[in-house]
Copies of this chain bind each other. A is one copy, B any other.
Amino acid sequence: MDNSTNKKKEVKKLEKITPRSQNKSKWYRDVLRMADLADYSPVRGCMVIKPYGYRIWELMKEDLDKRIKDLGVENAYFPLFIPFSFLQRESEHVDGFAPETAVVTHGGGKELEEKLVVRPTSETIIYSMFSKWVESYKDLPLKINQWVNVVRWEKRTVPFIRTSEFLWQEGHCLFDNKDDAKQNVIDALKIYYEFLKEKASLYVVAGKKTESEKFAGAEETYSVESLMKDGKALQVATSHLLNHSFVKAFDVEYTDENNELKTPWASSWGISTRTIGGVILAHGDDKGLVLPPGLAPHQIILIPIGNRDSETSQDIGETFGDYVSENVEKVLSEYRVIVDWSDNSPGWKFAQSEVKGIPIRLELGNREIENEEISYYIRYSGEKGRIKISDLHDWVDRKLKEISVEMYESHKKFTLDNTKKVESYDEFKKVVKDGGYVEVFFDQGNDGKSENEIQVDTKAISRCMPFESVDSAKLKGGVGKCFYSDSDKGVTTLFARSY
Contact = CB atoms under 8 A, between A and B. Distances in A.
Contact of A75 (B41, B44, B54, B81): B54
Interface stretch (A146-154, A278-286, A463-471): A146-154
Contacts of A164: 107
A19 interface: no
A75 B58 contact: yes
A130 to B, nearest CB: 11
B165 A79 contact: yes
Contacts of A330: none
A123 to B, nearest CB: 14
Interface string A123-136: 00100110011000
Given A54-B75, A155-B108, A149 B99 contact: no
Given A80-B151, A149-B80, A51 B75 contact: yes
A64 interface: no
A496 interface: no
A48 B74 contact: no
Interface residues of A, number: 55
B165 A129 contact: no
B105 A165 contact: no
Interface string A83-98: 1001000000000001
Nearest to A257: B3
A105 B107 CA distance: 11
A104 B164 CA distance: 13
B81 A102 contact: yes
A82 interface: yes
Contacts of A154: 108
Contacts of A54: 74-77
Instruction: Please tell me how many copies of the chain the complex holds.
Output: 2
Nearest to A133: B39
Contact of A116 (B55, B58, B102, B149): B102
Contact of A39 (B39, B55, B100, B132): B132
Given A48-B76, A107-B153, A42 B125 contact: yes
A367 to B, nearest CB: 30
Contacts of A83: 42-43
A128 B46 contact: no
Contacts of A440: none
A401 interface: no
Nearest to A129: B48
A366 to B, nearest CB: 28
Contacts of A148: 149
Contact of A49 (B76, B100, B105): B76
Contacts of A188: none
A47 B129 CA distance: 11
Contacts of A155: 108
Contacts of A80: 46, 80, 118, 149, 151, 165
A83 B42 CA distance: 8
Interface in A211-256: none
A220 to B, nearest CB: 27
A50 interface: yes
Contacts of A133: 39
B105 A105 contact: yes
A148 B42 CA distance: 19
A106 interface: yes
A144 interface: yes
B105 A109 contact: no
A48 B42 CA distance: 31
A151 B47 CA distance: 19
A151 B49 CA distance: 20
Nearest to A154: B108
A43 B154 CA distance: 25
B149 A78 contact: no
A102 B106 contact: yes
A448 to B, nearest CB: 22
B128 A78 contact: no
A435 to B, nearest CB: 29
Contacts of A125: 41-43
A116 B43 CA distance: 8
A103 interface: yes
6 contacts: A39-B132, A49-B76, A51-B74, A51-B144, A80-B165, A98-B109
5 closest residue pairs by CB, A with B: A108-B153, A51-B74, A46-B79, A49-B77, A103-B106
